[in-house]
Amino acid sequence: MQNALAYHKIIYDNGQAIDYEYVYVNKAFEELTGLKRDFIIGKKASDIKDNQFVICNKLKLFSEVATNGTEDKIEQYFEVWKRWYSIDVFSPEQGYFGLLYTDITDIKNLTSSLSEQKEVMKQITENLEEITFLMDVKTKAIVYTSNSAEKFTGISIENFYKDSNLWLSCIYNEDRERVVNRLQLIKLIDYFKYYNTYTDEFRAVDCKKQIRWVRFKCMPIRNEFNEPVRIVGIIQDITKERNDRNEIIKAKQKAEKLAMFDYLTRVYNRRAFFVRAREEFSRAKRLKKPVAVILTDLDKFKIINDTYGHDVGDLVLKNFSKIIKSSVRKYDVVARFGGEEFVILLSGVDLEDAYRKAESLRRVIEQNKVYSKKLDLHINYTASFGVTALEPKKDLALEDLITNADRALYKAKNLGRNRVECL
């Protein structure tokens, strides 16, 4: 979630700070406080002091930060939300200061003693703090960056101020050209004509030479003519989020792949067959090429199960599917259609060639034996085949081909099994 950010100008009278004026607030500040940008920009804090989000009792601290260019931090409890906030006070340029709000309610609730709270806060700010920076549009110089920039990059803040392009050296080589091209100032200014926030994700190399994924966000601070004069940026380490996202994607892809295959034979299941077969079928019709379907079924498979047990039956099914898979081309579609029935779709193959393929398979299976280590036994089995094909001039649906192949298979069974019939 984006941190609330407000940017202010100190108002002086005879060299003394008497008030401050709102120069810029982001959308997160509007959502947190209920103070809309159009209402608050240009307003003095004293004009809206009744709003508890307007901090009027820290003017001296704000003035010191704005005058000396230092940083500070305060904690504030907002009754309306019943939330604690840590507020970073920083000064990007003399006479101005910014406030960056971070919700620390959960941290406060974790500990009861003040010393423990300070230790938790110290750990969080040292390890999890986002990088924030402010760039001047006219000079293209970084006029402010948080200490976390040095912690992440190993480059001193003073050097960032001297050369605003130094941070580009931290972008991972393979991403650098793309990121640099997109973040050209002239392109950003044009982008901000239509959008308020620019977001990108890319890889960066940290001070330990480790590749980290970061999310980069920046937004403009505009003058009275609605022209960008400053660019506020936030860089967040999202390596864990990105890795988690990739793991979820991989797990989903794995699950989707597993859902397409028969768990026993490792060929496509019935649902996956129709998905893949329709793709090949449509392509064949579009290219006016023939396409054939072979439906095959193990003969007297129930007797094998009843005689030798289901473990042996599973061995036969695995062997049967392995022979089929190894006998067809990589782009042919093989699936377990149900029980001991398998289907093969051959793209670019006419009826005659499909018959030869089925007959070749029948002979290999007839001569094949499956060995059961458990029974120390070699088992023979046979299969029947029904073959049909769609010639380019015919207009049939995939379901019609499967029906015809099923009728041909039924005929092969009735004529004695262990044979090939065409329709």
Q: Residue 119 is part of a domain; what is its CATH number?
A: 3.30.450.20
What is d(CA 412, CA 370) in angstroms, rounded to the nearest whole number?
A: 23
134 and 119 share one domain: no
CA-nearest of 208, 209, 211, 203 to 235 is: 203
228-256 average pLDDT score: 82
pLDDT at 257: 76
The pLDDT of residue 117 is above 60:
no
Whether the Cβ atoms of residue 412 and residue 385 lie closer than 8 Å to each other: yes
Largest CA distance in the chain: 112
144-161 average pLDDT score: 88
279-293 average pLDDT score: 90
**For residue 388, what are the β-bridge partners?**
293
**CA 142: distance to chain centroid?**
32
Determine phi and psi for 390, rounding to 5 degrees. Answer: -110, 115
For the segment 342-377, what is each residue's pLDDT rounded down to a tens digit? 999 999 999 999 999 999 999 999 999 999 988 999
Going from the C-alpha of 273 to that of each of 184, 245, 334, 402, the distances in angstroms are: 50, 30, 7, 12
What is d(CA 320, CA 318) in angstroms, rounded to the nearest whole number?
A: 5
The pLDDT of residue 127 is above 70:
no
183-197 average pLDDT score: 90
The pLDDT of residue 418 is above 90:
yes
Whether the Cβ atoms of residue 416 and residue 410 lie closer than 8 Å to each other: no
pLDDT at 312: 94
110 and 166 share one domain: no
* Lowest model confidence (mean pLDDT) among 50-59, 103-112, 243-252, 319-328: 103-112
The pLDDT of residue 110 is above 80:
no
- Percent of the chain's residues with pLDDT above 70: 94
**3-class state of residue 274 by DSSP:** helix
The pLDDT of residue 244 is above 80:
no
Paired tokens of 381? 């089995």
For the segment 51-89, what is each residue's pLDDT rounded down to a tens digit? 777 888 899 999 999 999 888 889 888 888 888 888 999
Place of tokens 């950003």: 188
In the structure, what pLDDT confidence band is assigned to residue 387 with cuts at 50, 70 and 90? very high
What is d(CA 250, CA 181) in angstroms, rounded to the nearest whole number?
A: 30
CATH number at residue 358: 3.30.70.270
Residue that finishes a domain, picked among 224, 258, 292? 258
The pLDDT of residue 111 is above 60:
no
Whether the Cβ atoms of residue 334 and residue 344 lie closer than 8 Å to each other: yes
pTM of the model: 0.47
214 and 298 share one domain: no
294 and 396 share one domain: yes
Residue that finishes a domain, picked among 127, 148, 163? 127
The pLDDT of residue 49 is above 80:
no
Q: How many domains does the chain have?
A: 3
- Percent of the chain's residues with pLDDT above 90: 50
What is d(CA 8, CA 21) in angstroms, rounded to the nearest whole number?
A: 5
The pLDDT of residue 116 is above 60:
no
CA-nearest of 62, 102, 98, 59 to 78 is: 102
The pLDDT of residue 299 is above 50:
yes
**3-class state of residue 91 by DSSP:** coil
pLDDT at 113: 40
Q: Which residues contact 220 (CB under 8 A, 6 or more apart)?
A: 137, 189, 192, 196, 228, 229, 230, 231, 232
What is d(CA 227, CA 339) in angstroms, rounded to the nearest whole number?
A: 71
Concatenated DSSP letters for 28-51? HHHHHH---HHHHTT-BGGGGTTS
Determine phi and psi for 209, rounding to 5 degrees. Answer: 65, 25
Place of tokens 């003040």: 114
The parent domain of residue 298 ranges over 260-422
The pLDDT of residue 301 is above 90:
yes
What is d(CA 101, CA 71) in angstroms, rounded to the nearest whole number?
A: 14
The pLDDT of residue 114 is above 70:
no
**For residue 103, what are the β-bridge partners?**
85
273 and 174 share one domain: no
Length of the chain: 423
Residue that finishes a domain, picked among 71, 106, 127? 127
278 and 402 share one domain: yes
90-119 average pLDDT score: 71
Element (H, E) at 86: strand 83-90
The pLDDT of residue 128 is above 50:
no
In the structure, what pLDDT confidence band is assigned to residue 405 with cuts at 50, 70 and 90? very high
Q: How many CB atoms lie within 10 A of CB 69?
A: 15
295 and 390 share one domain: yes
Mean pLDDT of the chain: 87
271 and 377 share one domain: yes
pLDDT at 109: 67
Q: How many CB atoms lie within 10 A of CB 219?
A: 22
